[in-house]
Amino acid sequence: MRKSAMKESGADRAFTIVNYVLLSVFLIMVLYPLIYVVSASFSSSSAVVSGKVWLWPVEPTLEGYRAVFKNAMVAKGFMNTLLYTVAGTAINLVLSIMAAYPLSRKDFRGRGVFMLLFVFTMLFNGGLIPTYLLVKDLGMMDTVWSMLIPGALSVWNVIIMRTYFQTTIPNELLEASQLDGCSDIRFLRSVVMPLSGPILAVIALFYAVGHWNQYFNAMIYLKSSNLYPLQLVLRDILVQNEVNIEMLGDAKTAAARQGLRELLKYSLIVVTSVPLLIVYPFVQKFFVKGVMIGSLKG
Amino acid sequence: MLTGWKRLLRSWQLYALFLPPLLYIIIFKYVPMYGAQIAFKEFSVTKGISGSPWAGFDQFERFFRSHEFWRLLRNTFSISLYTLIASFPFPIMLALGLNYVKNRRFKNTVQMVTYAPYFISLVVLVGLMLQFLDPRTGLINSILGWFGLGPYHFMAEASWFQSIYVWSHIWQNVGFSCIIFLAALSSIDPALHEAAVMDGATKVQRMRHIDIPGIKPIAVILLILNTGQLLETGFEKILLMQNALNLRSSEVIDTYVYKVGLVSQAMNFSYATAIGLFKAVIGFVLLLIVNQLAKKLKQESLW
């Protein structure tokens, strides 16, 4: 290590320095907004509105979080999103495995045709309105099902999974198990799945992120507000600026209300983003492995 | 040994497994394609898809003649091209830079932090932008205030819309998009680098002659893929960012379809579907052309 450091030429040293500086600048550009939001969410509303927050919280308080957790819509939205994410991801995973595993088998007759049928849907689709009409005709409008079923399978994820199965499960295992009279489903359950932990984790995360962040389908398919996912509640507050007065608790004057309104937004952003940001470092180590094997060698 | 039928019968479980996803694809992907025929009809909900009378290309003609047509086309293409061109180099640069970082801690930190925005929802991202760009309480205007500039009402100006859209897109996606290039870099044979070091190559030279050629195939494939998806503008994000004041540069085909089909007073399913179909066909043709072009250039192609 030392030797190679000593051997580093002037040009290389310059390169290394420039590289570190650029990456650091880059790091700060991505990180700063995130830090600012967290700091603002813990600051007093007057400090946020008057622009006194730069890096660390000013006059720390939990005012914003109190307003967030007191709100019934936010709580309801959070529970709905949790349900959609857990149930939706479970459906996604099961269907994806059921599609990807047969497609990964060379002795699965007709897989070329099936593959084409699947891939074509990535290139061309019926469009927004025909899909909407279908969901309507199926009687899913304004039901939980409209949040779970229309996006139940992503062909892209199926392809990643299929490639992973193809490249990591040795054919010899299948042959040996077939000689022992093991059925296909049993082989999938007791050999393939245990060997595919990383890809299952990554795909589950992809699906879960999709469900957690979903707002558009909810916006067009749901009418009753007690089914609204968190993102739709958020949109009303963050984007359309519809903060109802009860949310603002005991703020009396117009100025205090305005302040709390801003503060509340920062706290909301933190509350909704934290769950995923907590989960993803655990799955991150699988990313490169899972995603790469899946997409590169396709 | 086994005849075709026996073999098929022996793997009945595979077919049983495959049936539900296949049904899903047929119902939720192919039925809407069948439903897209209402673009050529005068669709009425009571008569249904097959019962509605044919209208030929009336809906398309109406769209081509409407005063919205050129504006939608221009906005859709300019946002897509801007995104494509501006966001292409950054993940590559990030990956090349990270590849030469020896300090594991620093490398992991940069990776962790730059991936993070990918997981932030569009609603939150747009909410963030609105907070930061707010003319009275926003961070950006406070900073500009130091230099005696502003305050600007960024979200209310049509001229700012596309840049805000594209650069926030880059901020959110650059870390995640660089994963694929990092993996490509790690699959380059280390012997090449060792040999280059022996020959006295500098890091910049190694980057130019080993790393960049090494990731070029992936870069070309991704560029083709992205070009094929050119018209798939980030419709959900644009919808969130839109307001009456920036509509002039923010209305794209997809948002227009949504409004004509599902929001406006005079909802028109057929007209909206025709507009959507027009876009889908252009996108599809574009993909074919780009792929053909890539083949001609003897580069990687998708099929």
Distance CA A216, CA A5 (A): 53
Option in B115, B204, B272 nearest A11 (CB): B204
Distance CA B40, CA B43 (A): 9
Residue B132 has pLDDT above 70, yes or no: yes
Write the pLDDT tens digit of every residue in B240-257: 999 888 888 889 999 999
Write the pLDDT tens digit of every residue in B40-98: 988 888 888 888 888 888 889 888 998 889 999 999 999 999 999 999 999 999 999 99
The confidence band for A59, taking pLDDT boundaries of 50, 70 and 90, is confident
**Residues of chain B with C-beta less than 8 angstroms from the C-beta of A108:** 11, 14, 18
**Residues of chain B with C-beta less than 8 angstroms from the C-beta of A188:** 17
pLDDT value of residue B298: 60
pLDDT value of residue B93: 93
Distance CA B32, CA B44 (A): 16
Distance CA A17, CA B133 (A): 33
Question: Residue B123's closest CA among A131, A265, A32?
Answer: A265
Which residues share a beta bridge with B54?
B41
Q: Which of A49, A111, A129 to mutate to test the interface with B (most CBs of B within 10 A)?
A: A129
Residue A6 has pLDDT above 70, yes or no: no
**Does B272 contact A at CB distance below 8 Å?**
yes
Locate the chain B residue with the closest alpha carbon to A232: B123
pLDDT value of residue B278: 92
Share of chain B above pLDDT 90, in %: 31
Which residues share a beta bridge with B139?
none
Residue B285 has pLDDT above 50, yes or no: yes
Question: Residue B41: what are its φ and ψ, rounded to 5°?
Answer: -130, 170
For B91-120, give the secondary structure using H, E and C: HHHHHHHHHCCCCHHHHHHHHHHHHHHHHC
Mean pLDDT, all residues of chain B? 86
Most confident of A38-42, B24-28, B207-211: B24-28
**Residues of chain B with C-beta less than 8 angstroms from the C-beta of A55:** none
Q: Give me the mean pLDDT over the A51-60 stretch.
A: 78
Share of chain A above pLDDT 90, in %: 34
Residue B303 has pLDDT above 50, yes or no: no
Q: Which CATH architecture has domain A63-298?
A: Orthogonal Bundle (1.10)
Q: Where are the domains of chain A?
A: 63-298
Prediction ipTM score: 0.85
Length of chain A: 298
Write the pLDDT tens digit of every residue in A167-196: 888 888 888 888 888 888 888 888 889 988
Provide the chain B residues 79-138 that lie in CB contact (below 8 A) with chain A. Answer: 94, 97-98, 100-101, 106, 109-110, 112-117, 119-124, 126-128, 130-132, 137
**Residues of chain B with C-beta less than 8 angstroms from the C-beta of A131:** 28, 32, 35
Residue B30 has pLDDT above 80, yes or no: yes
Name which residue leads in pLDDT, A37 or B294: A37
Contact B84, B199 (CB under 8 A): no
Q: At what angle do helices A254-295 and A155-168 cross, to 10 degrees?
A: 40
